[in-house]
Amino acid sequence: MKQTVRWAPLVLFILLGSAMTYGLAKPDSTNIRSKMIGASVPTFTLPPATAGLPGLASSDLAAGRPHLVNIFASWCVPCVAEAPQLKAIADAGVPVMGIAVRDRPEALQRFLARNGNPFRAIGADDASQVQMAMGSSGVPESFVVDGHGRILSQVIGPINPEDVAGIVAEVRAAR
């Protein structure tokens, strides 16, 4: 008994040391997952972000069809890299809705002309209010929303070519 007690501090020290080493060695993730996954899309109405496309309201997302909601901006460089993947997703029949954060209509028009337009609607989120309401912390981010307006999942950062099939399947499975 006494022997065990004598070694206890050393054992504790080694345990604590290994826990700290593990914590330091583990790659640091700066992604912030939205806690809104599983919840309904917060109520919002955004005006059109550019001429020729309608704006976006939360009621559009609860009208019976699942959607991919893409939070992006024309000034965001990874959003350019993501554009071909969004187009592939839209071409597969998934309605892609955009939320443009802090954007100008002219800049957005140029962005769509250059990178293609996969969006059925783009709402203008000029003060990031809807972005915050969705629990998103950057651009680009995408949310899969089912036909009842419930958020099913979140993609943080640009959608990569290898993610496309999974996202299309997830939206198709959501009703």
Partner 1 sequence: MTRLFLALALIAAPVLADSDMPPAPLADTQLPDPRQEAQAQALMETIRCLVCQGQSIADSNAELAGDMRAMVRQRIAAGEKPAAIRAWLVRRYGSWVTYDPPLDRVTWILWAAPILFLGIGLWIARSSFRRRRA
Residues forming the site for partner 1 (CB under 8 A): 30, 32-36, 73, 75-77, 101-104, 107, 126-129, 131-135, 137-138
Beta-carbon neighbour count of residue 162 at 10 Å?
Answer: 8
Sheet holding 151-156, edge to edge: 119-125, 96-101, 67-72, 141-145, 151-156
Q: 9 vs 161, which CB is nearer to partner 1?
A: 9
Q: Closest separation between CB of residue 91 and partner 1, Å?
A: 28
Q: Closest separation between CB of residue 124 and partner 1, Å?
A: 11
Distant-in-sequence, close-in-space partners of 90: CB < 8 Å, separation ≥ 6: 96, 118, 119
Q: How many Cα atoms are found within 13 Å in the side-chain-facing hemisphere of 69?
A: 31
Q: 109 vs 128, which CB is nearer to partner 1?
A: 128
Q: What is the DSSP string of 14-36?
A: HHHHHHHHHHHHSPPP-----TT
Residue type at 138 in one-letter notation: G
Q: 44 vs 75, which CB is nearer to partner 1?
A: 75
Q: 127 vs 169, which CB is nearer to partner 1?
A: 127
Q: 73 vs 90, which CB is nearer to partner 1?
A: 73
3-class SS of residue 99:
strand
Q: Closest separation between CB of residue 42 and partner 1, Å?
A: 9
With contact defined as beta carbons under 8 Å apart, do 72 and 140 qualify?
A: yes
Q: Closest separation between CB of residue 165 and partner 1, Å?
A: 29
Q: Closest separation between CB of residue 32 and partner 1, Å?
A: 6
Strand partners, 144: 68, 153
